Structure 1
Amino acid sequence: MKKIYVLDTNVLLQDPYSIFSFEDNEVVIPAVVLEEVDSKKRYMDEIGRNARQVSKLIDSLRESGKLHEKIPLENGGVIRIELNHRSFQELQNIFIEKTNDNRILAVAKNLAIEEQKKENGRSVILVSKDTLVRVKADAIGLLAEDFLSDRVIEFDQIYTGFLEVYLELDELNRFYEKGELPLAEITNHPFYPNQFLIIKDSFGSSSSALGIVDHSGTFVKQLVFDNEQIWGIRSRNVQQTMAVELLLRKDIQLVTLIGKAGTGKTLLALAAGLMQTEDVGAYKKLLVARPIVPVGKDIGFLPGEKEEKLRPWMQPIYDNLEYLFNTKKPGELDAILAGMGSIEVEALTYIRGRSIPDQYIIIDEAQNLTKHEIKTILTRVGEGSKIVLMGDPEQIDHPYLDAYNNGLTYVVERFKEQTISGHVKLIKGERSGLAQLAADLL
């Protein structure tokens, strides 16, 4: 039986094309949702862009009929703007204040009551990304769902970038001697290009090896940069060794790193970037950027020039650079960076419209980027550049993103079959014993 889906504002602001995601059912947009969308369309961020996109989409539907009536969609469903069910009579004894959320609930509740009176009444489902709105809906007997169509993966099945395989000791020795093995001789399991294999002895000895699948996906080969020291930093665990391999390989233009706080993502990426630009000269400049999304309450406008305004947001980057340059005195790092001239620390706000050739680009905290923002960044990458995206999908500060629909997860899943990209999930924290316990327990 067909259903009626009532959409909350946050669904449209998260995905303007969500109105086409409900198959052949009826989509209802309460009038108060249009008011909320209208109040956001002047924002200069992703929410404002989506609000403007929603406005254009709904305006284009007017060509097919009147919005307060049912307008057919290409997927077989219909859409309409609900103008009449704003009566608070059913909910006035439960929710005293006529907030926008409660007005949306009232629309859905009144529609549900109407359908219940019909002989073949349809189910009315409120779709919202707001947890408390779904809780309120359940409390008044309404069906409520989260909007899940924007999720890249359904569950915690994000690609890790590595697999464990077991071989006999003779095959392990042959791998060490020849430097490669045909994947067909190991297992029938499908592999992705640049995927790592942790090869262990099937009889349980301590013998093991680490290999990487070649671009053709037919051979596993030894690492090019196994146990490589970069700017005084050595990998402390097997996943960090994988990360170093990806960060230093010229033929891998896109690297994605995910992991909890303290797993070494930023430090390894900066060390690799400095080595590739300053020592090897493979790139002209090292560009480091991160999105400006505050943790907790925003501190408001900051005084000073652009560099002074950016410093608080970019401090985690500078902390790692101070460690790599072994600076002791205040202002010493700034003097070093000014003298080198090949390191640029920037906010992502200033990347739009740029073309960035021959640079080693590091984007930190990429889990706070939307799919559209991550596309904007990747399309800025010019010839001869390498880009590293990293972050922790479990630590998201963006109001409309989660571990399953953020830009970093999106790139990991969409690029895992491409020969120019590599990915690894860092597991073990190396910052300190306390930091690892905090990441695991809190």
Structure 2
Amino acid sequence: MSFVLDTSVILSDPKSLESLSDRNVIIPMVVLNELESKRNHKDIGYAARENLRYLETLRVSGNLVDGVSTGTGSVRVCISNHTVSGLSESNDDQIIGCAMHNPGSVLFSNDLPVRLRSNIFGVEAEEWHGYSRGSGATSTVYVDSATIDYFYDFGSVSSALFDDFALNSNLIMRSADGRSALGRVSDYGTVHELSAGYQMPVQAKNAGQNFAIDALCSGDLRIVSLGGKAGSGKTLLALAAGVAALKNRDVDKVTIFRPIQAVGGQELGYLPGTAEEKMAPWAAAVHDALGVFMKSNQIRDLGSRLEILPLTHIRGRTFSNTFVIVDEAQNLDLMTIVTAMSRVGENSKIVLTHDISQRDNTKVGKHDGIHKVIDSLNGHRMFCHVDLTKSERSPVAELVADTFDL
């Protein structure tokens, strides 16, 4: 079976084509033209450029019109101008025509009208939900009951089912009898049980938060990425882990950096006062999160061991024995995030929290900054990315996040 991909699918993920290396992929010529036109788009330009670069690597090793092998799969560009009764000359109809001239293929599109028109013309069409494995995010693997028994008995289990997942990927193992287990890929083909490491002042409310606590408390992980919707607990869990590390004397200080960016990109103008007074509006969110598990006098007792700074203060600093949190990282460009990570010294950890749906810096695209960091560090032994998909702040927050795709 071949996959015919439309532009919406390829632009949904910078690695969408590369993730399909074990499939036979057909790309209509009009899709290439549309990718070219999106190269400089602030949000989807990165995905367009990355997929075009991947196609270029294939082009130099073969003929894309004839098809280029990608191992167990292939990529072929469909250049024919398909004329079918009832189809127009529009790009969407050209894509449908390409699928019609490749019997047995499935057209993947995130465009509802394209899927509806495909059905009318007898073309099997499906919405794209992603095919990538080993992205470092959470995946579900179906195993037998014996595998889960072994995992609980010995704390780890190895299986060929886990071979395709990147190091530090988070897995939910499920069996046919309804049992499940949570684990993290610690070695090639091996999954280990989650371990908190030290006592957290908050408890996980869902699987994603369990994965986050494991990553935050693991001594082997020095860079942790926490992404998720509004109210999913990104900042709360990061702060809780930092305070726990402080109380456990694993670190000497917790340092939080927040971008000075107003909601919606609104200009606030000049703010008078000291650096601490200038940061007060942005520090309030940190104190709100701390207040969930600490009393006000306990927060005050932290004193200089807790500092909240703007990112303008990071250059030239070295953070040793420090739990560093870069909050709202979706508002930062790549070099700012890289600069922050490069400041981490001995016995320190850095946590990047982000929600790409809440970008207030209009100069940073959806696939810039934090997206490139995750893509570049995925699979490294010191890095782990966790997706938090469920809002736990309140029923209202969850309703808003789900309804408006926050």
TM-score interval (norm. to shorter): 0.5 to 0.7
Paired residue for 1:207, among 179, 186, 199? 179
Partner of 1:166: 142
Paired residue for 1:318, among 272, 279, 287? 287
Shift of 1:419: 0.4
Inter-CA distance 427–160: structure 2 relative to 1 (3 Å threshold): farther
CA contact (8 A) 2:227 2:354 kept: yes
Paired residue for 1:253, among 208, 222, 243? 222
Shift of 1:150: 8.2
CA contact (8 A) 1:357 1:383 kept: yes
Shift of 1:322: 2.2
Inter-CA distance 267–148: structure 2 relative to 1 (3 Å threshold): closer
Shift of 1:311: 0.4
CA contact (8 A) 2:166 2:378 kept: yes
SS class of match (2:157)? strand
Alignment of structure 1 residues 304-343 onto 2, 5 Å: 304-327=273-296, 332=297, 335-338=300-303, 341-343=304-306
CA contact (8 A) 1:129 1:400 kept: no
CA contact (8 A) 1:152 1:410 kept: no
Q: Deviations over 1:164-204 (max 9, x none)?
A: 111111221122112211132xx165111111111111x2x
Structure 2: runs of 5 or more not aligned? 1-35, 53-127
Cα distance in 1 between the residues matched to 2:171 and 2:51: 23
Percent sequence identity is: 34
Q: Would you say 1:302 and 2:267 are equivalent positions? A: no
Inter-CA distance 262–152: structure 2 relative to 1 (3 Å threshold): farther
Q: Would you say 1:379 and 2:350 are equivalent positions? A: no
Cα distance in 2 between the residues matched to 1:156 and 1:399: 27
Alignment of structure 1 residues 103-182 onto 2, 5 Å: 129=41, 147-148=45-46, 159=135, 161-182=137-158
Cα distance in 2 between the residues matched to 1:125 and 1:419: 37
Could you list the runs of 4 or more consecutive aligned residues of structure 1 that deviate by over 2 angstroms after TM superposition? 124-131, 146-160, 332-338
Inter-CA distance 333–127: structure 2 relative to 1 (3 Å threshold): same
Cα distance in 2 between the residues matched to 1:150 and 1:383: 38
Cα distance in 2 between the residues matched to 1:235 and 1:370: 31
Letter in 1 for 2:301: I
Cα distance in 1 between the residues matched to 2:259 and 2:359: 12
Shift of 1:409: 1.1
SS class of match (1:429)? coil
Letter in 2 for 1:305: T
TM-score (norm: length of structure 2)? 0.66
Letter in 2 for 1:262: G
Partner of 2:69: none
SS class of match (1:389)? strand
CA contact (8 A) 1:260 1:439 kept: yes
RMSD: 2.6
Shift of 1:229: 5.0
Partner of 2:196: 225
SS class of match (1:394)? helix
SS class of match (2:216)? helix
TM-score (norm: length of structure 1)? 0.61
Alignment of structure 1 residues 256-275 onto 2, 5 Å: 256-275=225-244
Radius of gyration: which is bigger?
1
CA contact (8 A) 2:321 2:347 kept: yes
Alignment of structure 1 residues 79-118 onto 2, 5 Å: none
Inter-CA distance 427–299: structure 2 relative to 1 (3 Å threshold): same
Paired residue for 1:412, among 363, 371, 374? 374
Cα distance in 1 between the residues matched to 2:326 and 2:144: 41
Paired residue for 1:287, among 226, 248, 255? 255
Cα distance in 2 between the residues matched to 1:392 and 1:408: 10
Q: Would you say 1:354 and 2:317 are equivalent positions? A: yes
